[in-house]
Amino acid sequence: MTAIQLAKAEEAEELSRFAEASFVHTFGHIYDPADLAAFLADWNPPARIAAQIADPEWTIALIRGDDGAILGFAKLGPIDFPIPEGHPTGDATELHQLYVAPEAKGTGVAAALMDWGIAWARERASILYLSVFTENPRAQAFYRRYGFTDIGRNPFRVGNHIDEDRIWRLDL
């Protein structure tokens, strides 16, 4: 396993493929295939990832295996979901994605990326938000260990399907 490294523009396509494969592996069985295909085409294309890599408001860090394959990545940046009333957004950032390859789960990749992401967020904000699917207890337990707390609802649409996601907050 390699050390955490910041993503480079030339890795955008590879990151897009990894994110799509991770999403489909974990959640693909939930959705109608047409809804899933349309969502994936618009959700995380290489051009969007490349733009985020170039934007100082965003950061994407990744860890590679000894064979050079991505084992996981974390993406942080501006908040893009509605924060419940009474919770500040001015001095906050969002953990948009923390994805780990199935074969790397339980190896410390997620923890290393989360530790790195929290440190990055602390340099820029006093609050870190994320959204997590209600039917993802493994992720919820992971975030709970870091001190995140559930503060409200975030509907997550994939085509005609709306998931019940929850917004979680960590005071930095």
Superfamily of 5-171 according to CATH: Gcn5-related N-acetyltransferase (GNAT) (3.40.630.30)
**Measured between alpha carbons, how far is residue 3 from residues 39, 56, 124 in Å?**
32, 21, 22
User: For residue 160, what pLDDT is reported?
Assistant: 86
Q: Up-side HSE of residue 141: CA atoms within 13 Å toward CB?
A: 5
User: For residue 100, what pLDDT is reported?
Assistant: 97
Domain regions of the chain by residue span: 5-171
Tens of pLDDT along the chain (172 residues)? 779 999 999 999 999 999 999 999 989 898 999 999 989 988 889 999 999 999 999 999 999 999 999 999 999 999 998 899 889 888 999 999 999 999 999 999 999 999 999 999 999 999 999 999 998 999 999 999 999 999 999 988 888 888 889 999 999 9
Give the integer Cα–Cα distance in Å for 95 and 64. Answer: 20
b vs e for 110-123, b when ≥16 Cβ sit within 10 Å of the residue's Cβ?
A: bebbbebbbebbee
State the chain's maximal CA–CA distance in angstroms. Answer: 47
Residues 6 or more apart in contact with residue 158 via CB below 8 angstroms:
30, 31, 35, 36, 39
Q: Do 59 and 120 touch, CB atoms closer than 8 A?
A: yes
pTM of the model: 0.93
Q: Do 24 and 152 touch, CB atoms closer than 8 A?
A: no
How many angstroms from the chain centroid is the CA of residue 141? 15
